[in-house]
Amino acid sequence: MEKPIIYSAVQPSGNLTIGNYVGAIRNWVNLQDSYDCFFSIADMHAITVRQEPAELRRRTLELAALYIACGVDPEKCVLYVQSQVPAHAALCWVLNTVTYVGEASRMTQFKDKSQKHADNINMGLMDYPVLMAADILLYRAAAVPVGADQKQHVELARDLAVRFNNRFGETFVVPEPLIFRGGAKIASLLEPTKKMSKSEENPNASVFLSDDRDTVIRKFKRAVTDSGSEVRYAEDKPGISNLLNIYCAFKGCTLAEAEKEFEGKGYGDFKIAVGETVADVIAPVQAEQKRLLSDKKELAAYLVSGRDRAAYAARKTLSKVYRKIGFWEA
Ligand code: ATP
Ligand code: LTN
């Protein structure tokens, strides 16, 4: 029997944070046996904000290596670079004609990024969720594992799929967002009401998967905490609650277990424990990524095979779409 399909991606737009790891990539690993998975490196999304070309190319490979180092198996999953499959741009164009300017301009991420990059509010920035819908719908994905911040985009993909199906007849599978609890939203270490982000300017606000052990521990030591001294999860303690979330996500324990472990201990001890736990988990990932990047041939071979498998699946959907909308094809 055919397995349901999963699609997800990350942009090669900066160094990955532990938020990307627990909110996205790590969850993919647990899905790869029960689903047919497509995971891409969303370089076309990344250029909606300015990228340095050489850096973009380097980061694309680093991200591919990181997926594999985190446990994504390139033989089980289709792992590829988005721009290598032209069907994404082609379907995006078609979907643009069923997307209203009003709904695109209401997307929270568009509004945030327009503020952050006020000197470069380009068409691509606004079209970003439509391209993302094209990614998902091309592969007939039933579920899309993402962090909570991307839920609105997956909902737009659903709306577009339903709208297209109503207008042109059954074509797309309507996807569901798949949001994991716990790691769904890791916050900034310095402003715990904001999400931890890879494009944040202050490097001390985010813990990167590339940070060495000392840096990880130092960043956690400097993390903003709240008044009081109890290690307890509470709405009025966003700093400690965020650290507890991170601790549980990396240790694999529940909030109650973590609170119990740190009963009677101060913030200082707790922060060191969080740093050490995170550093222990990311060290082997870093070592495997380094190994993969030292022999680019192996990595390139995975990406070429992924591209071919992705292009085949995408072409099938695109042809169907072209037929439905009345494009001529030989
Ligand atoms: P940018 O800052 O460049 O917008 P980002 O750090 O938000 O990047 P994305 O490439 O937009 O990262 O996201 C990749 C995946 O990681 C998405 O599934 C997203 O939901 C998830 N993710 C990103 N940040 C977090 C976070 N702080 N907590 C949980 N999940 C996250
Ligand atoms: N916008 C996503 C990355 C992304 C994506 C996708 C996620 C691009 N295409 C398709 C899921 C499905 C982000 O995480 N910022």
From 8, 20, 146, 150, give the residue whose CB has the most ligand 1 atoms within 8 Å, as the site to mutate: 20
Closest atom of ligand 1 relative to the 49 alpha carbon: 3
Query: With left for phi above 0 and alpha for psi between -120 and 50, is residue 254 left, alpha or beta?
Result: beta
pLDDT bin (cut points 50, 70, 90) of residue 167 is very high
Mean pLDDT of 184-196: 90
Q: What's residue 220's pLDDT?
A: 97
Contact present, 153 and 177 (Cβ < 8 Å): no
Which atom, in ligand 1's list, is nearest to the CA of 145?
Answer: 18
Output the pLDDT for position 149: 86
Do 266 and 124 belong to one domain?
no
Please give the single-letter amino acid code of residue 247.
Y
Q: If you ran DSSP here, which 8-state letter would residue 191 be given?
A: S
Q: CA-to-CA distance for 282 and 21, rounded, in angstroms?
A: 10
Does 48 share its domain with 163?
yes
What is the DSSP track for 81-106? EGGG-THHHHHHHHHHTTS-HHHHHT
| Rounded mean pLDDT, 172-176 | 98
DSSP lists the bridge partners of residue 6 as 37, 143
| pLDDT band (50, 70, 90) for residue 200 | confident
Q: 147 C-alpha vs ligand 1 centroid, how far in Å?
A: 7
Helix (H/G/I), strand (E/B), else coil: 243: helix
Domain assignment present for 282: yes
pLDDT of res. 1: 72
Residue 161 Cα to chain centre, angstroms: 21
Judgement on whether residues 129 and 214 belong to the same structural domain of the protein: no
**Mean pLDDT estimate for the chain:** 95
In a domain, 194, yes or no: no
- CATH number for the domain spanning 223: value is 1.10.240.10
Long-range Cβ contact pairs of 84-89 (< 8 A, separation 24 or more): 84/303, 84/307, 84/310, 84/311, 85/307, 85/310, 85/311, 85/314, 87/138, 87/311, 87/314, 87/315, 87/317, 87/318, 88/44, 88/131, 88/134, 88/135, 88/138, 88/314, 89/44, 89/131, 89/134
Q: How many CA atoms lie within 13 A of 105 on its CB side?
A: 6
> Look-up: residue for tokens 């606004």?
126
Give domain status of residue 197, yes or no. Answer: no
Asked whether residue 189 is domain-assigned, the answer is: no
Same domain, 52 and 165: yes
| 284 and 263 within one domain | yes
From the CB of 186, is ligand 2 less than 6 Å away? no
With respect to residue 302, please indicate whether it lies within any of the assigned structural domains: yes
In a domain, 192, yes or no: no
Q: What pLDDT is recorded for position 182?
A: 56
The residue type at 273: A
CB 113 within 8 A of CB 150: no
Active site (catalytic) residues:
113, 195, 198
- 172 and 29 fall within a common domain: yes
Q: How far is CA 35 from the centre of its chain?
A: 18
Task: Give the model's pLDDT for residue 180.
Answer: 79
What is the pLDDT, as a whole number, of residue 285? 96
Residues 224-244 pLDDT 10s? 998 888 999 999 999 999 999
**In total, how many domains does the chain have?**
2
| CATH number of domain containing 123 | 3.40.50.620
Instruction: Read off φ and ψ for residue 218, nearest 5 degrees.
Output: -60, -45
Q: What is the mean pLDDT of residues 295-300?
A: 94
CA distance 195 to 240: 14
Residues 151 and 72 in one domain: yes
Residues 27 and 104 in one domain: yes
User: What's the 20 CA to ligand 1 centre distance in angstroms?
Assistant: 5
The number of the ligand 2 atom at minimal distance from the alpha carbon of 42 is 8
Residues in the chain: 330
pLDDT above 80 (res 271): yes
The Cα 39–Cα 303 span in angstroms is 11
For 104-118, 124-138, 155-169, which range has the lowest pLDDT when averaged over its residues?
Answer: 104-118
pLDDT confidence band for 183 (50 / 70 / 90): low
**Is 66 within the bounds of a domain?**
yes
Q: Are 160 and 137 in contact (CB under 8 A)?
A: yes
Q: To 5 degrees, how large is the angle CA 230–CA 234–CA 237? A: 70
39 close to 67: Cβ distance less than 8 angstroms: yes
- Span 240-266, average pLDDT: 95
Beta bridge partners of 239: none
What are 24-69's pLDDT values in tens digits? 898 899 999 999 999 999 999 999 999 999 999 999 999 999 999 9
Ligand 2, from 47, 139, 144, 150: best to mutate by most atoms within 8 Å of Cβ?
150
Q: Are residues 275 and 306 in the same domain?
A: no
Mean pLDDT over 144-172 rounds to: 95
Angle in degrees, CA 323, 324, 327, rounded to 5: 45
Residue burial 242-265, b: 16+ Cβ < 10 Å; e: rest: bbbbbbbbbbeeeeeebbeebeee
Q: Rounded to whole angstroms, how far apart are CA atoms 70 and 183?
A: 15
**Phi, psi at residue 98, to the nearest 5°?**
-115, 10
**One domain for residues 59 and 153:** yes
Are residues 261 and 312 both part of a single domain?
A: no
Tell me, using a 6 A CB cutoff, whether residue 10 lines ligand 2. Answer: yes
pLDDT recorded at residue 32: 94
The SS3 assignment for 197 reads coil
95 in a structural domain:
yes
Q: Is 284 in the same domain as 311?
A: no
* Arithmetic mean of pLDDT, 110-132: 95
Look up the domain containing 92 and give its range. Answer: 5-183+296-325
**pLDDT of 70 above 60:** yes
